[in-house]
Structure 1
Amino acid sequence: MGRLQVVGAAVADGTGRDPIDVDVTVEDGWITQLGASGDEPGERLDAGGLTMTPGLIDAHVHLGLSSPIQPQFSFQISAAEIAADIFATAGAALDAGFTTVRDTGGIDGGVVTTIAKGKVRGPRVLSCGPVQCQIGGHGYYGADWEPTELWSGHHLPGLCALSMMSGNADELRGNVREAFRRGASFLKLCVTGGVVSAHDRLTDTQFTVEEIAVAVQEAAARGTYVTVHAHNNEGIRNAVEAGARCVEHGTDLDEPTATLMATRGVALVPTFAVVERLLHDPAEAGLGESVRDRVLGVRERMTEALAAAKEAGVRIGLGSDLIGPAQDRRGEELKLRAELETPMEALVAATKTNAEILGLSDQVGVIAPGMQADLVLWNGNPLEDPKLFADPANAVLVVQAGRVVKDLR
């Protein structure tokens, strides 16, 4: 891999400090020096006029839901086409400046391995494998007449496994062990109803405290954690009481529950981009118009939840939750968050904070000596104009672990 010197860029290092003009030296995939790079041998990359950030991290992706949703859930799409869509989405994540993603349900272990081997373009992927769901709860999309036990027969081993159904704590224990056997590096449980759901409401709670605690126990035995899909406060509180370490969405989070999360060190990953997409055009994701009714009001409530979480001191990451074929503009999430906070806060959430939530803060998330060289060079300054984050064409150069994986110079 050798030495790479990036000179002349304004570097926003991911910590929240203002950008500074500093050279960045990379050797064998790792950042070795910030400062004048001198005349040492190696490739010299002139980045004058560009802004450098750490590689972005999306803490809530669904690579396995990259095809039109209803046709995929109705098993009208071949395994070959599903695979093609998954890998196209993985490549698009890199092109949008995302060098690491946390897949929160839908892929099986073979996708992670295939990308890690470099056989297809894609970011570093951490995956929960199939989502853990209550029988008939959020994450179950079988026909009303179809017996629950047939649902897992639709998994495509090594490629696609959306969710596993549990009727009690013992079944959940078996299912999470199976998820780990397939390569999961953390667990995700659905503990409330969802927006894209067939059999529940956002106000429903799913799984008991005792059931969630079983998954927490199994995760802790492997040195990892549980995150939960949760929209309402009762579900969030159940999960926090059981020992979950992260909450996805958190739409109706109130101040007392946010304070509880902060006290227990539980992180929040809001997801605004998917809400915007579903409000704008459900058909774009391959979903019916009924989804629009379920998502009405979610954006406003999630905005209030973000404010409550900030006030309480909750660690807040960033996730897009994009589903369906239109996952090429993943940076929309930063643009939307920048409108609610500041562009710098959005960047820190997508880099340093997300790395902490994912357990990767010793490797990625900031630009500093000793960190992996995940870098993005932006055309212009997205901290002054955050719309730049939303257009992949503005990520003119992407470096992942020291390798140039996109170059539009």
Structure 2
Amino acid sequence: MRVPPSLFPDHHSEEKTAVYIPATMSRSEATSTSAFGGIPETVIKPWKPPPRKTYLFKRANLVDTAQGSIISNVNVKIAGGVIKLVENNDPRIAGLAHLRGEDDLGQVTEVDLDGKFLCPGLIDCHVHVSAVPGELSLSSAVTISDLAVSLLRQPFVCSQMLSRGFTTVRDTGGATLALKEALEEGVFPGPRLFICNRALSQTGGHGDLRGAHDHGDQGGGGGCCGGSASQLAVVCDGVPECIRAAREQLRTGADFIKIMVGGGVGSPTDRLTNTQFTAAEVRAICDVTESYGTYVTAHAYTPKAIRHAVDNGVKGIEHGNLIDEATARYMAERGIWLTPTLVTYDAMASDDYAGFLPPENQRKNEEVLHQGLKSLTIAEKAGVNMCYGSDLLGPLTREQSKEFGIRSVILKNKQVLQSATVNAAKMLGQESFLGQLKPGYAADMLILDVNPFNEVAVLDEPERHVLAVIKDGRVYVSRWRKLPVDATQREEVIE
């Protein structure tokens, strides 16, 4: 047997640079360990999930989110984290090797769906993973003095999102690169994550959480880029600070940039009618993101704030509750994305969360709550592309799925589901990988016991209707006896 050269550092033969492959390790497995000097990756990163299985889901009703229709009686094969095959379940070809038995990816596990619905994994385009449950009020949820409290609770928030069927989320302030990497590596269960790091706010803007009598730096002072920082946002003023703040978010892993261009419900010192950042500041931030090949999305409610953002280079609008018809047409003509978040206002007004908002914030919440459904009608009529968003903080995060039922009051079931699948995927620049069930796409899918095109509001209750959640080809959640969870390594039975 060849001796591992690492055991003899003074050995000078040509074999010193060879990769030692244990007898129990395949060549492909060894290739994946080369970055660790021949040590198996599972030793360096023991949380790595077990190898993916190859699945053949037979006799499924496939939810075609692009066309808004059901394709009946199909077989879907997944392997290596992607969809390999989608075809009609024809009994005449059921015995072919590409459908069952051994193939080049190992044993195929067959699952007979018997008419159950196979749906793409859901995408929530407006979350705040770091604003965790465990605190009673808005201020305590977003201004936790010890960030370790939030960090230690974030795995719970991520696992709950995945259990509801959200296999991808876009965090619009607070989530970090470390969290994104932990999810990618399988340290704990959770959705795919797109981040902006911290959102950008002017002094006194929606991201500045200091009260009017607080003259200190936000979050205790000392934020990056010359401004002050909190858990969700960094405050920056003037073009140089805005440029540095944008670059800092991108340097530390941001996929996009989020800015506050108007007043908000949760901020203590601004009005909903405010516009925030100067045109030069917004343009400077957008120039930075364009140079990085990405985009800016903006928190905005009013027509004035929306136009201020779009005129200066912003590509997406969050919320938009006070939009008017002319501004909706203006957005549609320019291909601007809108991500409404109606469930958050509904939850904050509910008696279930009494005391979450202080009185001054409750008044602002009432104003945007009553305009929310109207904004959907206006945006839909104008042809604005809409994505699914929830924007829930602290204990309200449990309401994430309720946005489906709220939107279905105004929009067609197909439109609501598309906002959380194909539309969201396109906005994220992932339209060739997420949001549909087609060969080459991610094996992110849900098994449902009902047709979501008939009643999309059933997704409000994932604990009743989402039988299984598959992400990246692994079964992370199962409420169905026929399909066990395989995303974690089972313990060996001792007795």
Q: TM-score, normalised by structure 2?
A: 0.78
Deviation at 1:396, TM superposition (A): 1.2
- Identify which of 170, 194, 198 aligns with 1:130: 198
2: CA distance between counterparts of 1:120 and 1:286? 29
Task: Go from structure 1 to structure 2 and tell me whether the alpha carbon gap of 1:282 and 1:187 turns closer, same or farther (over 3 Å shift).
Answer: farther
2: CA distance between counterparts of 1:258 and 1:387? 26
1:48 maps to what in 2?
114
Greater CA drift, 40-49 or 397-406: 40-49
Structure 2 residues not aligned, in runs of 5+: 1-51, 102-107, 225-229, 481-495
2:81 maps to what in 1?
29
What is the percent sequence identity of the aligned residues? 30
Task: Go from structure 1 to structure 2 and tell me whether the alpha carbon gap of 1:385 and 1:339 turns closer, same or farther (over 3 Å shift).
Answer: same
User: Is the counterpart of residue 107 in structure 1 residue 175 in structure 2?
Assistant: yes
User: Is the counterpart of residue 381 in structure 1 residue 447 in structure 2?
Assistant: no
2:412 maps to what in 1?
342
Question: Which structure has the larger Rg over C-alpha atoms?
Answer: 2
2: CA distance between counterparts of 1:73 and 1:26? 40
User: Is the counterpart of residue 241 in structure 1 residue 293 in structure 2?
Assistant: no
- Identify which of 116, 120, 127 aligns with 1:61: 127
User: Is the counterpart of residue 257 in structure 1 residue 327 in structure 2?
Assistant: yes
Deviation at 1:165, TM superposition (A): 0.6
2:421 maps to what in 1?
351
Deviation at 1:326, TM superposition (A): 3.2
1:79 maps to what in 2?
147
1:117 maps to what in 2?
185
1: CA distance between counterparts of 2:427 and 2:68? 20
Deviation at 1:392, TM superposition (A): 2.3
Query: Higher RCO, 1 or 2 (CA under 8 Å, sep at least 6)?
Result: 1
Q: Which amino acid aligns with 2:201?
A: C
Greater CA drift, 283-292 or 126-135: 283-292
Counting only pairs closer than 5 Å after superposition, residues 185-200 of structure 1 correspond to structure 2 as 185-200=255-270
8 Å Cα contact 2:347-2:353 kept in structure 1: no
1:163 maps to what in 2?
233
2: CA distance between counterparts of 1:205 and 1:8? 54
Structure 1 residues not aligned, in runs of 5+: none
Task: Go from structure 1 to structure 2 and tell me whether the alpha carbon gap of 1:395 and 1:223 turns closer, same or farther (over 3 Å shift).
Answer: same
User: Is the counterpart of residue 19 in structure 1 residue 85 in structure 2?
Assistant: no
Task: Go from structure 1 to structure 2 and tell me whether the alpha carbon gap of 1:150 and 1:5 turns closer, same or farther (over 3 Å shift).
Answer: closer
Task: Go from structure 1 to structure 2 and tell me whether the alpha carbon gap of 1:133 and 1:259 turns closer, same or farther (over 3 Å shift).
Answer: same
User: Is the counterpart of residue 173 in structure 1 residue 243 in structure 2?
Assistant: yes
Deviation at 1:281, TM superposition (A): 3.9
Report the number of matched residues: 404
- Identify which of 210, 234, 237 aligns with 1:142: 210
2: CA distance between counterparts of 1:15 and 1:258? 23
Task: Go from structure 1 to structure 2 and tell me whether the alpha carbon gap of 1:327 and 1:72 turns closer, same or farther (over 3 Å shift).
Answer: closer
8 Å Cα contact 1:275-1:299 kept in structure 2: yes
What do the CA deviations read for 1:362-391 (whole angstroms, capped 9, x no partner)?
Answer: 110111112111100112233323332011
8 Å Cα contact 2:127-2:169 kept in structure 1: yes
8 Å Cα contact 1:5-1:23 kept in structure 2: yes
2:366 maps to what in 1?
296
